[in-house]
Structure 1
């Protein structure tokens, strides 16, 4: 009778252990799923269009000559050009690609889209001088437009517009970094574990 009681007690104890073990595994699995879903939601929240805007103005003088009879006669045209341009630098983080390694608790950013620079110039012509033998044509306007955009591109490179856009990019990605650190996960980008905003800045501006 005593042996049967011990045997029955052993069976009950084993069943209780198995139940607790299964319950623990279930809770552990639920926690992993919860963490993974939370991180995915944060990445979705970050995934948006980041836009930094700027305004540039400049004044140009356009000149052109048509010469005839061994350069003895010339027909000139010229114009004063005033340019006001709106410029945007954008990162579309909806295009960002990433991988979630639930087992090792690692988020790897696979791809961050490059910045998109959009220049919208408003070109006004003043003091236009031209002759019937050398009038302004479509080619002139194409040359002017190309010259204006090249000049604006140089100004943008020298300005703080791109760096301001990069700072906003880092600010958005930092939200993922903060969440991963809080949950005990790691964030990687281009083979490097990202520990701080400074690491993000360094990798993005390389």
Structure 2
């Protein structure tokens, strides 16, 4: 009787070991499958980020340029002035294809190493709206070239003072938030070494 129970115990032990091994193998397999699936989702989200972020604004302004060499009220008719109509299209571009990101699927970590600096481009157009020559004091070609260049510089200054850069940054942060939210959903950690990390800290807690 004792020998029978001993055999049964031995068989049961083998069955338990086999079941345990089967369970461990399946758990590991499921875990590996989950890691692969999660990594694909994370990589897809990063690929969605790898595109141009472009913010555009249009500008227009009138600028009057006076050439008053003769200040006497009796000689005012000799002075000349010109009115320019200046238009421009400005763009702020983040080329996110140059973003450097490392994905560590084993430790479930996303490491953002760098994000390209924004590029500001301005495409100005300057037209003469009106022009008054002074008697014996005509506009020369060099005068016109000079005033045109001044008009372009004026519109560049206006673009610099505008909110176009902050709008572009907000769009960048909004796009990065999607990646942060996805990482948090799948319990991945993000290590962000860029200056934009401070704007996204709450999402990484």
TM-score, normalisation: structure 2: 0.75
Larger Cα Rg: Structure 1 or Structure 2?
A: 2
1:30 to partner: Cα distance: 1.1
1:22 to partner: Cα distance: 0.9
1:40 matched residue in structure 2:
43
Instruction: Note the aligned Cα RMSD (angstroms).
Output: 3.4
1:49 to partner: Cα distance: 1.9
Separation in 1 of the partners of 2:84 and 2:18? 88
Q: 1:127 aligns with which of 131, 152, 159?
A: 131
2:96 matched residue in structure 1:
93
5+ long unaligned stretches in structure 1: 65-75, 201-206
Separation in 1 of the partners of 2:202 and 2:195? 9
Separation in 1 of the partners of 2:57 and 2:175? 20
Q: 1:81 aligns with which of 47, 72, 84?
A: 84
Q: Of Structure 1 and Structure 2, which has the larger fraction of its residues in strand?
A: 1
Q: 1:59 aligns with which of 45, 52, 62?
A: 62
Separation in 2 of the partners of 1:134 and 1:4? 115
Counterpart of 1:104 in 2: which secondary structure?
coil
2:159 matched residue in structure 1:
156
- Please tell me whether the aligned partners of residues 47 and 96 of structure 1 are also in contact (alpha carbons under 8 angstroms): yes
Provide closer, same or farther for how the CA distance between residues 145 and 27 of structure 1 changes in structure 2, counting only shifts above 3 A: farther
Counterpart of 2:116 in 1: which secondary structure?
coil
The answer to whether residue 114 in structure 2 is matched with residue 111 in structure 1 is yes
Structure 1 outlier segments of 4+, above 4 Å: 61-64, 76-79, 128-131, 143-146, 191-196
1:111 to partner: Cα distance: 1.5
Provide closer, same or farther for how the CA distance between residues 102 and 115 of structure 1 changes in structure 2, counting only shifts above 3 A: same
Pairs aligned (count): 189
